[in-house]
Chain A
């Protein structure tokens, strides 16, 4: 091992390797900043260049790219409330409130320090773990993976917020949404309304952008301010962030460990790592009042975990040739191209190559975090801009990013529909993180349970030691969650009366909509074979009970119940003279959709920019031209470099236009 380690060091300690690593890092940083584009997109861009490259340099470039995406994706999560990639969805919960409080700098420096720390811990753990990893991974069979998914679901307890029933209902909605498309056991198409787009289910990128970004953009537009209310304070906090991580170093270490392990398990999916880390910090902390309102620990936990995850994900990829995540799948394709065979030889005669990979990961983390810290100050200044100027850019970016998920019109339609639904979830106090957790875990829960029952003939697997250990952890997790919920019950916003109102009718209507969704889920499930229907049916039945409870509290007029919440009751506008409803901006988005359908994305975006800046920002004609021109140039440039496609409209169907209007 030591010999392999020294050989590896000799291979990577060359200027050439370092240069290629830096190219990878630079590309990774750019991809990470752009919401919706993650490791898969980045890897796919690099692959064509790998052919014929020196394997060690190629490895440096690939690893450099994949290592820093979870570092730089934090920018938009913290500053705009839009997850830069699925790895930092949980960072939004506390990072964005911090930016709103004017602590964006502190949040960013804490996030980058935690990312760096997590990445390094990940590399350190891997150096040793890689030697014993094979039996460990083989010990996690389908029953254990199922139990881990259940453990993930138990995090809903702490993420539910004030009303547990609403949290569970939201999670159930995610589970049902995750069940759309081909059933894992039978291949039957569930809840697809006969629409081809839904056959493969809704992509995670679309759901993530819809439920986090769309409501935030609309709320920020309505308050008519900049993101950071108190802009002068943006500059301070850089040192504070580093100190925060140092003070919470044990937390960061634990979360890095969690990240490594969850990332290393194929079949669970790396996209829950940040949530599990976030749930972990909430369960193990005493003073929890500030979570969700800008607690720096809520940034440190997911950020240290998501960088460690990439290291963990390398293990099944190089040992078994089975990718632990989407970006690892593409990485595997890259290994094939440069002529590196995965498999047991990677811990045998090719151990030095494995160490090249692991240490490139460590170096890339250092370079990436350093670059982010340097770039932070100019990028963080964005939060002081009036939001009406920023909003069209954000809308352009999320629409475009959503479209890249499957390059189908369905992506944009799903973004809009789920986004509008999320606007009302936010208004009526239905927590959105549980929805995402349910969505991500729907497939691991259903597939692994079904497979475990088939593989082990019944429920004999429930007595496996691994299952029992994870089961105990789940019970503890629920217990901690329940304790938290009962504490929150007596304190918090309720005493101050936030969200309380005598007008219950809008909430009742929304709860009824939720009921209808689950009734539909129940109805649709009955069209399938037993194995195809059991999961959506059970989910729908259980959720009808919880949502039914919420509805009954509302119908009985219990305005002081935790279930009753309407943010409209005390929504504050900076400019009270012309209050604008959320529906107003939903209509703007709908307008953009319609115009896109007619003339295609590029032209529609130009019209949208001009109209929005003129009407909403009352910008001068010169500003309108400059900003619109800049946005379109950026769009065309990105599209060209990444060979991305813009959604076409009826016009494009009829006439063949040159790029970028095509």
Chain B
């Protein structure tokens, strides 16, 4: 009986073993569905629309990469759908953003997906610039001390979105902040700034370059700091796109004469890494075979190293290095790792300060 059983097992296993690694992935004549858990028209949509045709050309068999928008639940709906439904055949991929990472890190009830199950193909970093109105009296980062105790208003989407980073930063600096929630987009927040309804704002890099730099030239906005990037040692460094602006920890030091530290600063670094470090990522689902993963990784590498890609990408993706292979794996690890202590601290803080229920 036992022998019969192992024979059956063997019979089942042999064809599986034989077929898995030998066959090279080929997507000729196929449609690859790229799930974007947001509506068309936002930053993630633009990112996917830019990359989809190039990725299709670079994959074996040149499949047609079709973007499928699944908005809802602050991007948890599309990610949940991907986790539950995507087959590991390389024909369904997912694009996530910082807004998908944050609910995952915070332990939002709606999250039914696990980043660690997936295989990262490519990551796109970005940064963010914080700026204020000249009415506050500051002329530039050199006047940082003047910000102390100034009452600021900030137009926010929600305390658990990417806005967590500026809210946390201002809180640690001791700047009394009134956050007005319910903005439909970061762009709507900028409009409130332009109308004079709020006196501080931040935009991600490409939006900043396009829409705020003209305001800076007109003297209507004063940039103060960037969120910075975390390097592989976990230290905060200046944003390469804005090398002349201090990163936030420098700004903190300019204001208080000492470096930021403690659980709050750990939380800041963790969420900057998660929200901006690899803000957007492409994933294959759980259980995808090695040959398909390799086909995608090679394709992503081909796309980002193609001549002229950097110049084209600058406008849509910002002036950042698009990471693939090992760098993407390392980036993902940083983006989804937050110590339980830090996580609890942020949850408690959000509940205490902004009545967020977990």
Contacts and interface: CB of A to CB of B under 8 A. Distances in A.
Nearest to A656: B87
A186 to B, nearest CB: 7
A406 B45 contact: no
B45 to A, nearest CB: 5
Interface in B149-195: 153, 155, 158-160, 178, 180-182, 184-185, 187-188, 190-192, 194-195
Interface string B32-72: 00000001111001100110110000000000001111111
A199 interface: yes
Given A196-B110, A329-B40, A333-B41, A266 B49 contact: no
A145 to B, nearest CB: 10
B73 interface: yes
A557 interface: no
A326 interface: yes
Nearest to A447: B182
B72 A333 contact: no
A336 B180 contact: no
B197 A142 contact: yes
A40 B73 CA distance: 19
B210 interface: yes
A455 B40 contact: no
Contact of B49 (A48, A188, A323, A643): A48
A271 to B, nearest CB: 14
A339 B210 CA distance: 12
B158 to A, nearest CB: 5
Contacts of B159: 187
B161 to A, nearest CB: 9
Contacts of A128: none
A343 B191 CA distance: 12
A643 B66 contact: yes
A138 B180 CA distance: 19
A321 B213 CA distance: 14
A196 B180 contact: no
Given A266-B188, A455-B153, A44 B211 contact: no
Nearest to A140: B195
B343 interface: no
A321 B187 contact: yes
B207 interface: yes
A48 B53 contact: yes
B40 A185 contact: no
Interface in B305-358: 315-316, 355-357
Contacts of A43: 40
Interface in A188-229: 188, 196, 199-200
Nearest to A653: B85
Nearest to B357: A188
A40 B71 CA distance: 13
Given A186-B181, A326-B41, A450-B182, A455 B46 contact: no
Contact count band on A: 35 or more
Interface in B124-166: 153, 155, 158-160
Interface in A102-160: 138, 141-142
B77 interface: yes
Contacts of A322: 185, 187-188, 190-191
B39 A185 contact: no
Contacts of B207: 321
B182 A341 contact: no
Contacts of A447: 182
Q: Counting chain B CB atoms within 10 Å of each CB, which of A339, A343, A345, A529 scores highest?
A: A343
Contacts of B214: 343-345
A407 interface: yes
A527 to B, nearest CB: 11
Given A454-B178, A455-B153, A196 B195 contact: no
Contacts of A424: none
B41 A329 contact: yes
B210 A342 contact: yes
B53 A51 contact: yes
A246 interface: no
B198 interface: yes
Interface in B231-288: none
A141 B194 CA distance: 10
A196 B70 CA distance: 14
Contacts of A643: 31, 66, 68
Contacts of A337: 46, 49-50, 316
A21 interface: no
Given A186-B355, A196-B110, A138 B181 contact: no
Contacts of B185: 322
A451 interface: yes
Contact of B40 (A40, A138, A142, A408): A40
B185 to A, nearest CB: 8
A184 B153 contact: no
Contacts of A186: 181, 355
A185 B181 contact: yes
A138 B194 contact: yes
A170 interface: no
Q: Counting chain A CB atoms within 10 Å of each CB, which of B73, B77, B182, B357 scores highest?
A: B182
A47 interface: yes
A196 B50 contact: no
B193 to A, nearest CB: 11
A267 interface: yes
9 contacts: A48-B52, A48-B66, A185-B181, A187-B356, A337-B46, A337-B50, A339-B315, A450-B182, A451-B192
Shortest Cβ-Cβ A-B pairs, 5 listed: A329-B41, A184-B182, A455-B197, A454-B180, A330-B40
Interface of B: 31, 39-42, 45-46, 49-50, 52-53, 66-73, 77, 110, 153, 155, 158-160, 178, 180-182, 184-185, 187-188, 190-192, 194-198, 207, 210-211, 214, 315-316, 355-357
Interface of A: 40, 43-44, 47-48, 51-52, 138, 141-142, 184-188, 196, 199-200, 266-267, 320-323, 326, 328-333, 336-337, 339, 341-345, 406-408, 447, 450-451, 454-456, 529, 643, 645
